[in-house]
């Protein structure tokens, strides 16, 4: 097996299982909350979606630190490792209080904006959930940064174990705390269990050999400079994620024009697709870490890493497309969908094959961009793809969910083509050591 492919699979596998653990705990959490009624489910759903959006904020310092630590590790520069870690914590300390304070102040207006201010129970329940979950964002953000530092050091297994620990504890605590305190109990369970995992994660940082050596070295640059470097590295990744999340929300609104049945089918099918798309993103993280590490070591292996990442992720995408096409009726049935919803869901899943394959290749190749300093170029490609995807989806929505699939595939084709062109240009300049962002 190719050495780069072997390393990518080794790094990606633990990331994938940690993502799966998070999704599984979210589903179980929703099942327990559903016993409290529809208003409680709606409140927790709003809070969970808000957290997904705020994850984009955490990526500024988490992903930025991962790339910088991996680059310093490859360069065997303990001082640069320490500077990268200090820059990540400094940016965390700057961003987190603003997010927590803003979330607490705006929790009631946000709940009313999303759920409506008609006096129902859902907005007040969502506000009650936010009262605990927003302070808990500090724990969530710190957990993301700890994971990012460990991944940058080449350790993706410990973040996986921390995710399994946190989500395993949530599964145990949820029924007890939700029974005692309702929606507030769901928030308390999540925050407390993440606190336990964070404590273990901090201990893991102290035991990490690379970080222990770096702690004894003189920082390569002062904290303000390290903070700016982390911000410059992580901000494009954060915006890229936020653009994708925003585009997904607008796409739901477009699908809503087709009726409630189509929305239900689309929602179920998209949740099923997460099992595949999380695999693509795990390869992306692995490619980002491995690319930054090799460049730090003075090797420009972008071409080979890009090929292997695309091969691995593309194989996963093709496998997922075939499996979803074959098992679509059973999948929709497992979610208890009625005949009308199941029929549209099966049709959608069977039409997504080309989109999944193209998406797998694009997402994986994006990791090479991020690890080599080309995240700004990747962001421009994402903006282009979103700008094409949404109008296309609106125009083709008259064809029903197959039209939505066609729009997704066409937009992803454009993104893949542009990304491949930029990557090809960077390969031609490989010998001169031109960064990917400059080649773009």
3-state secondary structure the chain: CCHHHHHHHHHHHHHHHHHHHHHHHHHHHHHHHHHHCHHHHHHHHHHHHHHHHHHHHHHHHHHHHHHHHHHHHHCCCHHHHHHHHHHHHHHHHHHHHHHHHHHHHHHHHHHHHHHCCCCCHHHHHHHHHHHHHHHHHHHHHHHHHHHHHHHHCCCCHHHHHHHHHHHHHHHHHHHHHHHHHCHHHHHHHHHHHHHHHHHHHHHHHHHCHHHHHHHCCCCCCCHHHHHHHHHHHHHHHHHHHHHHHHHHHHHHHHHHCCCHHHHHHHHHHHHHHHHHHHHHHHHHHHHHHHHHHHHHCCCCCHHHHHHHHHHHHHHHHHHHHHHHHHHHHHHHHHCCCCHHHHHHHHHHHHHCHHHHHHHHHHHHHHHHHHHCCCHHHHHHHHHHHHHHHHHHHHHHHHHCHHHHHHHHHHHHHHHHHHHHHHHHHHHHCHHHCCCHHHHC
pLDDT for residue 407 is more than 90 = yes
- pLDDT value, residue 206: 92
What is the total count of domains within the chain? 2
Whole-number pLDDT of residue 90:
96
Residue 243 lies in a domain: no
Last residue of a domain, one of 233, 248, 277: 233
Does residue 401 belong to any structural domain of this protein? Answer: yes
Same domain flag for 279 and 366: yes
Query: By residue range, what is the domain housing residue 408?
Result: 257-440
**Rounded Cα–Cα distance for residues 187 and 168 (Å):** 15
Label residues 22-33 b or e (16+ Cβ within 10 Å = b). Answer: eeebbeebeebb
Q: Same domain, yes or no, for 43 and 106?
A: yes
Q: Are residues 427 and 345 in the same domain?
A: yes
CA atoms within 13 Å, Cβ hemisphere of 352: 27
Same domain, 268 and 364: yes
Q: What is the pLDDT of residues 201-249, one digit of tens each?
A: 999 999 999 999 999 999 999 999 999 999 999 999 889 888 888 888 7
Instruction: Tell me: do 181 and 296 sit in the same domain.
Output: no
Please say which residue of 201, 233, 265 terminates a domain. Answer: 233
Model pLDDT for residues 276-327, shown as the tens digit of each residue:
888 999 999 999 999 988 888 878 788 889 899 999 999 999 999 999 999 9
pLDDT tens digits for range 89-112? 999 999 999 999 998 898 888 777
Asked whether residue 83 falls in the same domain as residue 176, the answer is yes
Residue 162: pLDDT above 80? yes
Is the pLDDT at 426 greater than 70? The verdict is: no
Q: Are residues 200 and 336 in the same domain?
A: no
Residue 242 maps to a domain: no
* 188 contacts 103 by C-beta, under 8 angstroms: no
Q: Are residues 426 and 340 in the same domain?
A: yes
265 assigned to some structural domain: yes
Rounded mean pLDDT, 378-393: 92
pLDDT tens digits along 183-193: 889 889 989 99
Q: What does the buried/exposed string (b/e) look like for 318-344 if buried means 16 or more CB atoms within 10 Å of the residue's CB?
A: eebbeebeeebeebbeebebeeebbeb
Residue 304, Cβ neighbours under 10 Å: how many? 16
Average pLDDT over residues 81-90: 95
Beta-carbon contacts of residue 422 (< 8 Å; ≥ 6 apart): 369, 374, 377, 381, 436, 439, 440
Indicate the burial class of 218 (C-beta count within 10 angstroms; 0-12, 13-18, 19 or more): exposed
- Range of lowest pLDDT (15-29, 110-124, 373-387): 110-124
Least confident of 47-61, 78-92, 186-200, 226-240: 47-61
Instruction: Please determine, for residue 139, whether its predicted confidence score (pLDDT) is greater than 90.
Output: yes
Mean pLDDT lowest for which of 102-111, 220-229, 260-269, 401-410?
260-269
The mean pLDDT value for 144-162 works out to 93
* Position 250 in a domain: no
Look at residue 440 in the predicted model and tell me its pLDDT: 42
What is the chain's mean pLDDT, rounded? 86
Residue 248 lies inside a defined structural domain of this protein: no
In sequence order, the 6+-apart residues with CB closer than 8 A to the CB of 400 are 258, 262, 344, 347
Burial class (CB in 10 A: 0-12, 13-18, 19+), 428: exposed
Of 362 and 254, which is predicted with more confidence?
Answer: 362
Quick one: 361 and 401 in the same domain?
Answer: yes
Give mean pLDDT, residues 386-413.
Answer: 92
312 and 184 share one domain: no
Q: Is residue 320 situated within a structural domain?
A: yes
Q: What pLDDT sits at residue 97?
A: 95
Do 24 and 327 form a contact (C-beta atoms < 8 A)? no
The rounded distance, in Å, linking the Cα atoms of 419 and 2 is 23
The CA-based angle 290-292-295, given to 5 degrees, is 105
Given this model, what pLDDT does residue 341 score?
81
What is the C-alpha radius of gyration for the chain, rounded to an integer number of angstroms? 22
Residues 130, 19 within the same domain: yes
Instruction: For residue 247, give the nearest of 57, 398, 394 by alpha carbon.
Output: 394
Across residues 129-148, what is the average pLDDT? 92
Residues 179 and 298 in one domain: no
Alpha carbon distances (Å) from 369 to 1, 2, 363, 380: 24, 21, 10, 12
Indicate whether 246 belongs to any domain.
no
Q: Band the pLDDT of 123: cuts 50, 70, 90.
A: confident
- Domain closes at, from 233, 248, 267: 233
The Cα 238–Cα 358 span in angstroms is 22
* pLDDT value at residue 439: 42
- Angle of helix 78-115 versus helix 38-74 axis, rounded to 10: 160
Return all residues near 44 (Cβ < 8 A) that are at least 6 apart: 29, 30, 33, 126, 129, 183, 186
């Amino acid at each position: 097996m190719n050495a780069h492919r072997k390393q990518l699979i080794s790094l990606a596998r633990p990331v994938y299982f940690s993502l799966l653990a998070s999704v599984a705990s979210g589903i179980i959490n929703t099942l327990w909350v559903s016993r409290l009624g529809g208003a409680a489910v709606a409140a927790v759903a709003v809070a969970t979606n808000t957290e997904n959006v705020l994850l984009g904020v955490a990526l500024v310092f988490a992903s930025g630190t991962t790339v910088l630590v991996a680059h310093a590790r490859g360069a065997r520069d303990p001082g640069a490792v320490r500077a990268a870690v200090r820059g990540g914590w400094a940016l965390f300390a700057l961003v987190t209080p603003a997010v927590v304070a803003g979330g607490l102040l705006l929790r009631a207006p946000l709940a009313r904006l999303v759920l409506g201010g008609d006096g129902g129970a859902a907005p007040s329940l969502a506000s009650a959930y936010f009262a605990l979950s927003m302070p808990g964002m500090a724990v969530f953000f710190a957990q993301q940064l700890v994971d990012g530092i460990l991944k940058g050091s080449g350790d993706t297994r410990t973040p996986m174990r921390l995710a399994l620990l946190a989500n395993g504890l949530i599964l145990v605590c949820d029924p007890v705390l939700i029974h005692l305190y309702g929606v507030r109990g769901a928030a308390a369970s999540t925050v407390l269990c993440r606190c336990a995992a964070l404590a273990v994660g901090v201990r893991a940082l102290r035991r990490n050999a690379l970080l222990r050596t770096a702690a004894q070295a003189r920082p390569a640059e002062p904290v303000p400079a390290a903070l700016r470097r982390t911000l410059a590295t992580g901000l494009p990744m954060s915006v890229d994620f936020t653009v994708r999340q925003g585009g997904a929300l607008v796409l739901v609104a477009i699908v809503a024009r087709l009726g409630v049945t189509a929305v239900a089918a689309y929602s179920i099918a998209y949740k099923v697709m997460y099992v595949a798309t999380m695999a693509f993103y795990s390869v992306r993280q692995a490619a980002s870490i491995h690319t930054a590490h090799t460049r730090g070591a003075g090797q420009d292996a972008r071409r080979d890493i890009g090929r292997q990442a695309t091969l691995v992720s593309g194989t996963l995408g093709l496998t997922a497309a075939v499996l979803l096409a074959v098992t679509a009726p059973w999948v929709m049935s497992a979610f208890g969908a009625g005949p009308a919803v199941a029929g549209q869901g099966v049709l959608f899943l069977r039409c997504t094959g080309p989109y999944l394959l193209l998406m797998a290749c694009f997402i994986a190749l994006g990791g090479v961009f991020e690890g080599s300093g080309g995240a700004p170029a990747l962001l421009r490609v994402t903006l282009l793809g979103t700008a094409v995807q949404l109008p296309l989806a609106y125009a083709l929505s008259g064809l029903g969910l197959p039209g939505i699939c066609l729009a997704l595939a066409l937009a992803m084709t454009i993104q893949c083509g542009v990304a491949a062109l930029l990557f090809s240009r960077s390969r031609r300049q490989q010998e001169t050591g031109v960064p990917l962002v400059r080649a773009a």
